[in-house]
Structure formats: structure tokens, C-alpha cells
Structure 1
């Protein structure tokens, strides 16, 4: 039987993790259960937060980053990240219908569609996307630097998806609605 991993209380983690929890509390208004669980390791939480923060200054804007998070989390079936990133995507101006479309691997706008399709293909194919997706990405003007940023954004989300997959901690965001049948593959 697998060990049942609980969301730690602040007192159960190191002082360094507690400091990071304080920063998260200020920034987000709470310490999400997933981040708290990563906080069992101050090294892992610090590295994750720095990686994510650094990528926030890369080639993709906030809406594009949420789209990448949604499609990768859908590929990996991560209910936690789907819930958290649906909330964030709605705050960034997406409609519920747009979040469904993105999760299915598409978007109505060409540039966003290209980003979503490549991110989905990278996640589904373990880093070996379908050939046409990379060419399409470059054909709309993205560079090698943007490709590295995209791989980073896919990777950071896979990390959180896997943390949830291994822990099944309680989801502390409103649950994401299931994809409408018409959008399921």
C-alpha cells in the first residue's frame, strides 16, 4: 500500500519552506495545498517557484501561459491543476468555453492555437512533438528562445501534475468542469 501523503502544516516544514509559504501567502492570499506539499522540500519548492517566475518573463504572456498550463494538465489528467488554472484563466479573461477548447488542444485564434497544439503534442509525446507542430510554431514568428520557454512551461506543469498524481492531496480550488462530450477526443 502506498504511503498517504498529507498536506503539511506550517510547523511540519523547514524554516526555509515556512518563509516561502509567507511569500506565497502575500502574493496569492493563501498557500495552495499543492505548493504546501512541495514545501516538504524547501529545495524543491524554491526551485519550482524560481523556475516558474523566470518563465513568467519569457516569450509568452499570462494568457498564453495559462493556456499551456490548461492543455498540459488536461493531457496529464491533473484535476488539481485543471481547477487552479481554470480559475486563473478566467481571471485572465478567457471564457469558460475557451478554457474547454484549449483543454481539448485547440484555440480559436491562430497564434494561441499554434502554442496550444505544440504544448499538447510535447506533453502527449514525451518531448517528441508531431513534426508539423514545430514548423507551424516557427512559421508564425516564434524563435528558438520561445521554443525553450515553451518546453520550460510544459515541464513546470508536468512537475505539478506529477506531484498531484502521486499525492492526491485535496483540491483547494473550485473543481474544473469536465470537458463537454463534443470536445472529447
Structure 2
């Protein structure tokens, strides 16, 4: 059963309408995910503000997208995999690199440490292995980055769960190799 669907501008409350307008003016479109999250202007507004804060944190854009893409892969979210693949490519990843991130074979050891730790946080319900944590710190990341990685995983999981409970189309180019996604 799909509980959520994207709101039209007319269906949204005043606050969500304003957020929708700001998103559309910033990125040129209102993604179906955000139109769905607008069911709660507090959720959408808070999500966007926290995301913007974290995007100005410890990680580069490529590192941020690595975390989001890895989290979305583990959570089997076709929408977010497609979105973060597209955004990752806008930030310099090749198609092959996005696929490598998703299967933990990216040649860059720093990115591989990120995707491994992010994935373990999801799979092991917040209790990653000592190896994943040690590898993360050995790659030069600090405790602030670790805390922010946890937050990015949490924010991405929110969007993954909205999609899983929503009835909406993927409005990004569909990512490759999603036929084997495990859907819970």
C-alpha cells in the first residue's frame, strides 16, 4: 500500500508552496520526492535546511553523493539511486564509478571507506564493524566527519522510506543495474 503521493501546488499548504517555489527556482524543477515530502512543510523545510548544512560540512560533493548512493543502494531505493547517480555525475563521477560505488568496488580508497561505513551503518543498524570505522579514520577522516556521515545516512534513509511508502514516478534518468534490488 502506497500512503504518500506528490502534492500539486494547489494541494500544498502555504509553507510548502513557498518551499516548492524556492526548490523550483534553485534547481529548475520540483522533484516528485520533494512534492511528496511537502505533505509536511516541517519535514520538507527541516530536511532541506539540514541537507544544506551538511553539504557545507566535512565532505566534498563527491563524498556526500558516495554516502547517499551507498545508503540508497542498501535500502533498495530506486528513486534515490537514480537521483544520486544523476547528481553524482553532475559532480564529476562517471557512470561506471557510480556503479562501482554501489557494489563497493570504487578504486578510490577514501570513497570505498565511505560507502562501506555508510552501508554498514544501515545493514548493522547503527553498529558498524571496527574494521569499517578504522578504515574510515585511516583514510584521514575525523570524528566530526563520522558524525556527519551518520547524519547523511539518516537523511538519505528518510528519503528512501518516503519513496518506499509513496506512489510516485522516478523523475530523474533511471540508473543502470537496478533489476536486482532487494525490495523488503
TM-score normalised to the size of structure 1? 0.92
Tell me whether 1:144 sits opposite 2:153 in the alignment.
Answer: no
Q: Equivalent residue for 1:119?
A: 118
Q: Equivalent residue for 2:43?
A: 44
Aligned length: 180
- Write out the 4+ residue segments of structure 1 that deviate beyond 2 Å after TM superposition: 2-6
For 1:39 and 1:127, locate their aligned partners in 2 and report how far apart those are by CA, in whole Å.
28
RMSD of the TM alignment (CA)? 1.5
Q: Equivalent residue for 1:100?
A: 99
Cα drift, residue 179 of structure 1: 5.7
Q: Runs of 5+ in structure 2 lacking a partner?
A: none
Q: Is the 8 A contact 1:105 1:120 kept in 2?
A: no
Q: Runs of 5+ in structure 1 lacking a partner?
A: none
For 2:133 and 2:107, locate their aligned partners in 1 and report how far apart those are by CA, in whole Å.
19
Q: Equivalent residue for 1:66?
A: 65
Tell me whether 1:89 sits opposite 2:70 in the alignment.
Answer: no
Tell me whether 1:16 sits opposite 2:15 in the alignment.
Answer: yes
Cα drift, residue 105 of structure 1: 2.3
The higher relative CO (CA closer than 8 Å, separation ≥ 6) is in 2
Distance 1:16 1:135, change over 3 A: same
Cα drift, residue 131 of structure 1: 1.6
